[in-house]
Structure 1
């Protein structure tokens, strides 16, 4: 189909800001094309540590507590393989990003799924976490701000979760790749900042979403010295080092990219409000997501499954959205819609979806 409008990809529609691209270009022009140290360039690790101190009031030591990786996905993989032994259980709230369960299996662990609920705004609740823990539980994944729902965890949510985690002496993988994309005055809070959690949390982040640098493939992990040291061993033998050009660009992003982040976030927020209001007006109820760049409307009123809805929508109206079931079985009855697209793109797609819903109501 030549005229499909896709709302399916979780990728910023912005180009990497020019001053960041220029720094990467200059590094190539100046012949800076050699390997970096395994952990990443020292100046980048220091800037990452400065960023977390400045933005989230958490102190990390760049030399020993920061590892630069090939995207956030590599950091997640390394954390699983260092923290999970054969037969260990990993608790994963769903709906969530598709990599956590496969990576658990690749590390020899067993995935234990907690189904979060729309009535809880898809937050992880402490009582649900408590019920899922066994004597084999090793690690809890916290994927917030969340893909696909846009859910966030606020301070009181994290404090309640932290008490359960400390009680059972567990580790946490906190995937914070969307940390800069929060709205409505709901600033991101890392669970590593909660009392007693710093020493048991590995934070994963990167440059793809905040700085529109998806293709640069650069992420990082922060955490306790012993864990980062073991992750570095796997990284140096399996990968060696992250791309040099991307690292020079990332230093510029962290030093001078705050205004770019604000501008992109403001644009996403305008789109977010348009999309949420539009779906609710169509009768596809949608809780207000305060993070990432996704909405997760409920399509149960149509009588279709998530898969059927998405298939019929693309065939009839040439609009692509993602079945909620792609992110876990509890995503049935929902679809993921990305608003990381231009306003004109979104308005056209929303009109087609509105027409589609009306036609379904009329039996067409």
Structure 2
């Protein structure tokens, strides 16, 4: 049976595949990219209140004004992003939906989109669906997957219409320094390229710079989400903001033809994400993940041939095991009772790597998991 040719180069998600394999009895699941916290109580109560008040109908396509205003204020006051009033903000079905709409709005057949290598598995498939081509920009495990001179040179010499950065990074946890992000934005300005800054893991930054390139470059789309921030992955709420209102309006056109709008009472709940109670809850989550990150880094010291700088954000490590085929290693680890995600689906620079999430595993579980990983890696 023949289906649309638009899907020819779109591949099933590797993260979903290995998450399903990790559901086998006795397997410790380190595949999942979500926090193991409940949603912040203040957000849940606000959503319940909205339900009780009958806020269950359609909302404006871009999102309720109250929520867009809170997002606008956060971005301008805390992140320094310029010119993103509430009318230049769109609320959508998670950060993923925001990115999908952005690529459909910006990319024509044959256009080039520059993406770090490695990067989240869905970026390249979204570009393919939109008809574009990916220019992979190199990073390396030895340098903590931070963009360096080769990354900047290839970006400068390429023909990208859209450039995507993700800091903190999924899958690597890398936080791109402010100086480097400014260099990337400067290249975009010289080439009149769009810059998409995926900042969904912003709240989970444990050191280094926290910088939004939208504070300096006008043709930037800043992407965020409530999913990781306050453990709201199932609520499906994210946002995009840009000084370029034409981009937001075009994305909203796509949204109105597909999603219509986000769930009304979920949006009212998300307004409470900007309260002091919610921010304290997010800080508790961040402190917990930092402790787990440090614990994982100590556990990895016992593994033979591992290359892994300490990541400064998100809740992933992306170690490289020289000499291992990452797909075979992920399968072998499943057999040993640990679910991970192989690195090569994230890009060629992910070869010999695996992604390990500590978002949903406490330190005791992580210790048990690494005991099993050690037996495989060290051939014990």
TM bin, normalised by shorter chain, reads over 0.9
User: Post-superposition shift, 1:21?
Assistant: 0.9
The aligned counterpart of 1:311 is: 331
2:154 to 131, 135, 148: 131
CA contact (8 A) 1:89 1:109 kept: yes
**Counterparts of 2:132 and 2:151, CA distance in 1:** 20
Counterpart in the other structure of 1:202? 221
**Aligned mates of 1:323, 1:30 — CA distance in 2:** 46
C-alpha distance in 1 between matches for 2:113 and 2:105? 13
Q: How many aligned positions are there?
A: 353
**What is the distance in 1 between the residues matched to 2:187 and 2:80?**
23
1:234 aligns with 2:257: no
- Do 1:313 and 1:320's aligned partners in 2 also have CA atoms closer than 8 Å? yes
Corresponding residue to 2:299 among 264, 278, 283: 278
Are 2:238 and 1:215 aligned? no
Q: Does 1:336 align with 2:358?
A: no
> Which residue pairs with 1:253 in the alignment?
273
The counterpart of 2:129, out of the listed 106, 127, 151, is: 106
Task: Give the superposition deviation at 1:131.
Answer: 2.3
8 Å CA contact 2:118, 2:139 repeated in 1: yes
Judge conservation of contact 2:303–2:377 (CA < 8 Å) in 1.
yes
How much does 1:218 deviate?
Answer: 0.3
Residue 310 of structure 2 corresponds to: 288
Unaligned ranges ≥5, structure 2: 1-23
The corresponding residue for 1:85 is 108
The answer on whether the counterparts of 1:42 and 1:62 sit within 8 Å (CA) in structure 2 is: no
User: Quick one: distance in 2 between partners of 1:5 and 1:15?
Assistant: 20
Shift of the 237–134 alpha-carbon distance from structure 1 to 2, 3 Å rule, reads farther
Write the distance in 2 (CA, Å) between the matches of 1:111 and 1:57: 30
The residue aligned with 1:297 is 319
The verdict on how the C-alpha distance between 1:148 and 1:178 changes in structure 2, with shifts beyond 3 A counting, is: same
> In the alignment, is residue 34 of structure 1 matched against residue 53 of structure 2?
no
Is the contact made by 2:156 and 2:187 (CA closer than 8 Å) also made in structure 1? no
Aligned-pair CA distance for 1:128: 2.4
- Verify the 8 A CA contact 1:60 1:222 in the aligned structure 2: no
**For 2:166, which of 143, 146, 153 is the aligned residue?**
143
> Which of these residues, 333, 337, 346, is aligned with residue 366 of structure 2?
346
Bigger CA drift: 59-68 or 48-57? Answer: 59-68
Contact kept in structure 1, 2:82 and 2:215, CA below 8 Å: no
Q: TM-score under structure 1 normalisation? A: 0.93
Partners of 1:98 and 1:135 lie apart in 2 by 22
**Offset at residue 57 of structure 1 (A):** 2.2
Residue in 2 that maps onto 1:178:
201
Residues 172 and 317, structure 2, Cα contact 8 Å, conserved in 1: yes
In 1, Cα distance between equivalents of 2:347 and 2:164: 14
Kept in 2: contact 1:280–1:286 (CA 8 A): no
| CA spacing shift, 1:136–1:304, aligned 2, 3 Å | closer
Does the CA contact (< 8 Å) of 2:137 and 2:154 recur in 1?
Answer: no
Asked if the contact 1:90–1:138 (Cα under 8 Å) also holds between the matched residues in 2, the reply is yes
